[in-house]
Amino acid sequence: MMRVAITRALPEAERTAARLRELGAQPVLAPLLSIVPCAFDTSTEGAQALIFTSSNGVRAFPDVRGARDRIVLAVGDTTAEAARAAGFNDVRSADGDVASLAALAVATLNPAAGKVIHIGGEHLAGDLAGLLQSAGFQIERRIAYSAQAATTLPPAFSEPLDAVLFHSGRAAATFVALGAPRAEKLTAACFSAAIAAEAEKVRWKRVIVAPEPREEAFLSALLQG
């Protein structure tokens, strides 16, 4: 049975672990990032829509009662599910990445109908603001949490492993910065080519990139590759 280290932060790592078990692999929790909520402006006055690029942003939003009828654009189905569970009524999933999220905004929103608010983390992947501004949207960014990098490797990396999952470039960069033990004997499974570029700063037995920005495709590429 393939033993796979999951480097993403809790609690999302637990969802990935459950899916790996269903697919016949043995997950090993080895978080290289931890989510720390930040105080931020939660007013949505004047906004036509809220954008969430992760379920961490949804969890960081303290109370949806005053915003439940705002349109919510979510980067993928997991984030969309979290938004619906939180109480938002009109949730639309881009089922992809930042580019598909921007495309969803362009297709379903009107730049003249009001600003959009992006609730996300301190570190961002991609240029969502640039894509939306080029389409005529006014976008405000609210930093709802910080993903803090580990300063030491989790004990799981001293256990026998076959592969390491990287859902973010920061996790890959953190692993490299902390010495990347035994990387040459492991497979690095990366959610995107940009993440792979960070991982490939050391030598691996093999590097796999998800064929599309969805976790199902990501895990299938690893386990069936």
Q: Residue 183's domain is classified under what CATH number? A: 3.40.50.10090
Query: Cβ atoms within 10 A of the Cβ of 92, count?
Result: 18
Q: Are residues 107 and 13 in the same domain?
A: no
Q: Describe the chain by its helix, strand, coil percentages, rounded to 5.
A: 35, 25, 40
Task: Give the end of a domain, one of 97, 114, 147.
Answer: 147
Q: Are residues 92 and 162 in the same domain?
A: no
Q: Are residues 155 and 189 in the same domain?
A: yes
Q: Are residues 86 and 139 in the same domain?
A: yes
Q: Are residues 40 and 123 in the same domain?
A: yes
Q: Are residues 44 and 97 in the same domain?
A: yes
Task: Give the end of a domain, one of 147, 175, 197.
Answer: 147
Q: Are residues 118 and 77 in the same domain?
A: yes
Q: Are residues 24 and 49 in the same domain?
A: no
Q: E strands of the chain, at which residues?
A: 3-6, 26-29, 33-37, 47-52, 71-74, 90-93, 115-121, 139-149, 163-166, 187-190, 206-209
Domain count, the chain: 2
Q: Are residues 133 and 68 in the same domain?
A: yes
Q: Are residues 72 and 133 in the same domain?
A: yes
**Beta bridge pairs of residue 149:** 33
Q: Are residues 135 and 201 in the same domain?
A: no
C-alpha span between 103 and 139 (Å, rounded): 15
Report whether 188 contacts 206 (CB < 8 A): yes
pLDDT of the chain along its 225 residues, tens only? 999 999 999 989 999 999 999 999 999 999 999 999 999 999 999 999 999 999 999 999 887 777 999 999 999 888 999 999 999 999 999 988 889 999 999 999 999 999 999 999 988 777 899 999 999 999 999 999 998 999 999 999 999 999 999 999 999 999 999 999 999 999 999 999 999 999 999 999 999 999 988 888 899 999 986
Q: Are residues 154 and 209 in the same domain?
A: yes
Task: Give the end of a domain, one of 119, 147, 175.
Answer: 147
Domain membership of residue 53 as a residue range: 36-147
